[in-house]
Structure 1
């Protein structure tokens, strides 16, 4: 009976923790990927969430049925962007090989960007919701998204247009919420790249206002800078969020 109990516990002990040190230890002159952003003057580029994964040091997880399984261990770092001299670019170099006894490998990088001063859009704006972008370097699931990627490789330069959306929280409140709008859910799978440049173009003067319905189920009213108004019953997850007016200005 004692032998059986010990044998039963062995897989649990193997999954519960890694006997190796989980510290990162990238090689001083190892291969890196440079993440750079051409920073607009009125935009804050927030620090990167950098995730490394290890097949050697795996994490124990429980399935929905209560069974025990494992997945690649992960190590999260918060890495700031550094301003470059003589230009408006912020950047940092990220090690592809995290090293250490767990043999960490770069899995994905995510960072947010938002308006620096939300009060420029009115004193009633009380919340500032950022946009984000994700770069995936392996086959593990990214921190958000549905698993769909745009594949990129070589010299990577990504330019996207954005505009401010101001949403009134409720019809009987003066609380306004500012958010960055553009192409949603930017997720890229990176192949063989040593530099990535992200160029967000912000059209801060092209404000779209979203007003909630007075009666439940009537849909939001979206007011565009060209005077057009539409009723959107699926806001904010809707295909009616048109970006054509931004594209026309940017060409």
Structure 2
């Protein structure tokens, strides 16, 4: 089921309350949730492009919601969770002519940037994404093909992306 967050309050905070245990006759419990962050469809950066959300995945049991959305090794969390991630728009030009855009917050296969959690005894999950919408990264196919992807960073510098991702540590220095 897809649920929208409540409208932003005076501080710009959007939230939603989700029951973990239904307590009804069927005794349902929440197995997991995915929170996707993406540019608004009306954003100039998103026009005419395929969009891929940056996902946060939270497992509340051991059924493994990760098969659908989690990537990398999950982090075990007890108590409340506060996650702040710096995101940079990445525009990728594909060999087939398509253009996609996503918010990049590090290679989630690595634990330090993973946004996949197994949570225990949790009351509150707080996500604070910071989007640097003016710090655009462009990825283009190699010319000639095959080879590593070409990356152009917000400061105009270029490099190669042997594993399809830009250098996140370099981007963090450009905030």
Normalising by the smaller structure, the TM-score range is 0.7 to 0.9
Aligned-residue Cα RMSD (Å) equals: 2.3
Aligned match of 1:106: 30
How do 1:196-235 and structure 2 match up within 5 A? 196-235=125-164
Aligned match of 1:131: 54
Q: TM-score, normalised by structure 2?
A: 0.82
Structure 1, unaligned stretches of length 5 or more? 1-76
Q: What is the total number of aligned residue pairs between the two structures?
A: 167
Aligned match of 1:181: 104
How do 1:54-203 and structure 2 match up within 5 A? 77-117=1-41, 120-121=44-45, 125-142=48-65, 143-145=68-70, 148-170=73-95, 173=97, 175-183=98-106, 184=108, 185-203=114-132
Structure 2, unaligned stretches of length 5 or more? 109-113
Aligned match of 2:111: none
8 Å CA contact 2:56–2:116 kept in 1: the answer is yes
Q: 1:84 offset after TM fit, Å?
A: 4.7
The answer to which structure has the higher strand fraction is 1
CA distance in 1, matches of 2:33, 2:95: 35
Q: 1:189 offset after TM fit, Å?
A: 1.3
8 Å CA contact 2:71–2:116 kept in 1: the answer is no
Q: TM-score, normalised by structure 1?
A: 0.59
Aligned match of 1:243: 168
Deviation per residue, 1:142-186 (Å, 9 max, x gap): 132357211222232110110011111238x4x422111113351
Q: 1:79 offset after TM fit, Å?
A: 2.4
C-alpha spacing 1:118/1:130, structure 2 compared with 1 (3 Å): farther
Q: Secondary structure at the match of 1:103?
A: coil
C-alpha spacing 1:92/1:208, structure 2 compared with 1 (3 Å): same
CA distance in 2, matches of 1:112, 1:121: 17
CA distance in 1, matches of 2:150, 2:83: 32
CA distance in 1, matches of 2:42, 2:150: 22
8 Å CA contact 1:168–1:176 kept in 2: the answer is yes
Q: 1:98 offset after TM fit, Å?
A: 1.9
CA distance in 1, matches of 2:149, 2:80: 41
8 Å CA contact 2:92–2:100 kept in 1: the answer is yes
